[in-house]
């Protein structure tokens, strides 16, 4: 058994390229968050948007012999060494061909975990699986989904780099090479959702001081640990962990571990947020290689959707949000479990949690076959 055997399309009964394979999610253009309470999905949802075409290659161009300054081009530098260079080249030809894990390419997300949360959007009051603290919970409880429709600033608020990996996550990865020494300077990523571009520096540069600018993508550096790329991201703007009001702070640090196994990519994301979380929050997401994937560009325009006086911010005062128990009752869950917190994430919690407050439905009624965006929208309820 070896990698070739495992991943060969000839030997696997199904491969990611099988026509029956999970369909890549359709990209949404201009769609705002939490579709369930802000109205129906836009008409173009579920249809493939006009493609912006492949982006131009971002890799720094290799050094052309004819135009490269003699002082900086490795090709010219080799030439200066004359016949020695030829000897070296011959020596390299005798060495085995080494390969490294290649993270670059087009990756389509598998929404096989928490699909209804990640595709159509989470239910209100669903904090399950999040080690949030009391302050974060109180803030989330104040959330009103109409906020997106009324407060323009929320409509085109980008996904931060950590949330983006969890949300609509079609992904392109490419690397930037320094032509002078052929070192990898950085990996770059692009995700169509909110047109998010990100840089992961690989050249050991330091993180900026704390007072430096924070952005939605943050400042990322990466190092290899064996076959695992470990990325540290700081300088993130406040954003959200879940699109139902569970907020993330700008004090968080995110660690990621990227590993590739055959045509599958797994990204482990560790959130350290001293403001919102009581312990590090570890999750992992999966992609499969999809070389034919075409990513869209992203347009988002502010558009008042619900008339309201200027300055209105829809919200619920503490103890007044009537929607917080819906998720527990719809799915037959203990209400305290939906409130989240670290204690609820460990197996022993099952022994102490209460029974559902209302009789659970006899059959699933919401998002029962939600696995791709199309499935979720066709069979939402």
**115-154: which residues touch other proteins (CB under 8 A)?**
115-116, 128-131
Per the CB < 8 A criterion, the answer to whether 54 and 294 are in contact is yes
User: Using a CB cutoff of 8 Å and minimum separation of 24, what contacts does 54-59 make?
Assistant: 54/294, 54/295, 55/172, 55/190, 55/295, 57/174, 58/174, 58/176, 58/188, 59/174, 59/175, 59/176, 59/177
Site for other proteins in 15-44 (CB under 8 A): 16, 18, 20-22
CA 360, 361, 366, 367 dihedral sign is positive
Secondary structure of residue 201 in the 3-state scheme: strand
Distance between CA atoms of 371 and 108, rounded to whole angstroms? Answer: 13
Minimum CB distance to other proteins smaller for 178 or for 249? 178
Residue whose CB is less far from other proteins, 61 or 317: 61
Q: Does 362 help bind other proteins (rule: CB under 8 A)?
A: yes
**Size of interface with other proteins, in residues (CB under 8 A):** 110
Q: Does residue 215 interact with other proteins by CB under 8 A?
A: yes
**Shortest Cβ distance from residue 85 to other proteins (Å)?**
9
- Sole window of 30-38, 46-54, 312-320, 367-375 interacting with other proteins (rule: CB under 8 A): 367-375
Figure out which of the listed residues 134, 138, 368, 378 binds other proteins, where binding follows CB under 8 A. Answer: 368
Smallest gap from residue 321 Cβ to other proteins (A): 20
What is the three-class DSSP state of 323?
coil
**Subset of 147-206 contacting other proteins (CB under 8 A):** 178, 180-184, 196-199, 201, 203-206
Residues 49-78 that bind other proteins (CB under 8 A): 72, 74, 77
- Distance of alpha carbon 221 from alpha carbon 213, whole angstroms: 16
**Sole window of 89-97, 134-142, 143-151, 295-303 interacting with other proteins (rule: CB under 8 A):** 89-97
Interface with other proteins (CB under 8 A), residue from 94, 310, 319, 322: 94
Q: Which of residues 240-279 bind other proteins (CB under 8 A)?
A: 255, 257, 259, 261, 264, 266, 268, 270, 272
235: left (phi over 0), alpha (psi -120 to 50) or beta: left
Alpha-carbon torsion, ordered 362, 22, 188, 276, to 10 deg: 10
| Inter-residue contact 145 to 123 (CB < 8 Å) | no
By CB under 8 A, is residue 359 in contact with other proteins?
no
- Closest separation in Å from C-beta 244 to other proteins: 14
Choose the stretch contacting other proteins; rule: CB under 8 A; options: 28-36, 111-119, 136-144, 299-307: 111-119
d(C-alpha 251, C-alpha 228), whole Å: 25
Give the separation between CA 276 and CA 134, rounded to whole angstroms. Answer: 8
Q: What is the DSSP letter of 328?
A: H
**Length of the chain counted residue by residue:** 381
**Contact criterion met (CB below 8 Å) for 189 and 197:** yes
Query: Shortest Cβ distance from residue 140 to other proteins (Å)?
Result: 16
Tell me the backbone φ, ψ of residue 219, rounded to 5 degrees: -115, 120
Q: Distance between CA atoms of 275 and 123, rounded to whole angstroms?
A: 23
* Minimum separation from the CB atom of position 193 to other proteins (A): 14
Pick between residue 150 and residue 173 the one whose CB is nearest to other proteins: 173
Nearer to other proteins, 238 or 345 (CB): 345
- Tell me, residue by residue from 294 to 333, as one string, x for binding to other proteins by CB under 8 A and - for no binding: -------------------------------------xxx
């Amino acid at each position: 058994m070896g990698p070739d055997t495992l991943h060969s399309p000839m030997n696997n009964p199904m491969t990611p390229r099988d026509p029956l394979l999970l369909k890549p999610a359709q990209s949404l253009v201009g769609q705002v968050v939490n579709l369930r309470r802000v109205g129906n999905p836009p008409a173009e949802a579920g249809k493939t948007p006009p493609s912006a075409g492949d982006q131009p290659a971002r890799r720094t161009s290799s050094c052309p012999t004819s135009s490269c300054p003699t002082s900086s081009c490795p090709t010219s530098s080799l030439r200066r060494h004359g016949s020695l260079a030829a000897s070296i080249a011959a020596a390299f030809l005798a060495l085995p061909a080494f390969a490294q894990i290649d993270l670059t390419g087009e990756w389509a997300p598998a929404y096989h975990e928490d699909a209804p949360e990640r595709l159509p959007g989470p239910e209100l009051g669903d904090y399950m699986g999040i080690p949030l603290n009391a302050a974060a919970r109180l803030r989330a409880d104040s959330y009103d989904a109409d906020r997106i429709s009324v407060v323009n600033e929320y409509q085109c608020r980008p996904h931060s780099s950590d949330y983006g990996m969890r949300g609509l996550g079609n992904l392109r990865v490419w690397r930037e090479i320094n032509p002078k020494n052929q070192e990898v300077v950085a990996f770059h990523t692009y995700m169509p959702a909110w047109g998010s571009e990100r840089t992961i520096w690989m050249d050991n540069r330091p993180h900026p001081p704390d007072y430096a600018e924070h952005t939605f993508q943050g400042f990322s550096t990466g190092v290899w640990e064996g076959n695992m790329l470990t990325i540290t991201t700081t300088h993130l703007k406040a954003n959200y962990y879940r699109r139902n009001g569970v907020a993330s702070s700008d004090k968080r640090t995110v660690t990621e571990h990227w590993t590739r196994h055959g045509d599958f990519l797994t990204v482990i994301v560790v959130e350290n947020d001293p403001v919102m979380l009581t312990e590090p929050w570890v999750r992992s997401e999966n992609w499969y290689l999809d070389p034919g994937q075409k990513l869209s560009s992203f347009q988002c325009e502010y558009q008042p959707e619900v008339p309201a006086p200027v300055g209105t911010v829809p919200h619920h005062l503490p103890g007044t949000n009537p929607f917080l128990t819906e998720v527990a009752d719809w799915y037959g869950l203990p209400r305290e479990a939906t409130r989240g917190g670290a204690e609820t994430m460990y197996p022993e919690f099952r022994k102490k949690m209460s029974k559902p407050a209302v009789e659970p439905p006899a059959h699933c009624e919401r998002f029962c076959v939600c696995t791709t965006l199309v499935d979720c929208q066709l069979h939402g309820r």
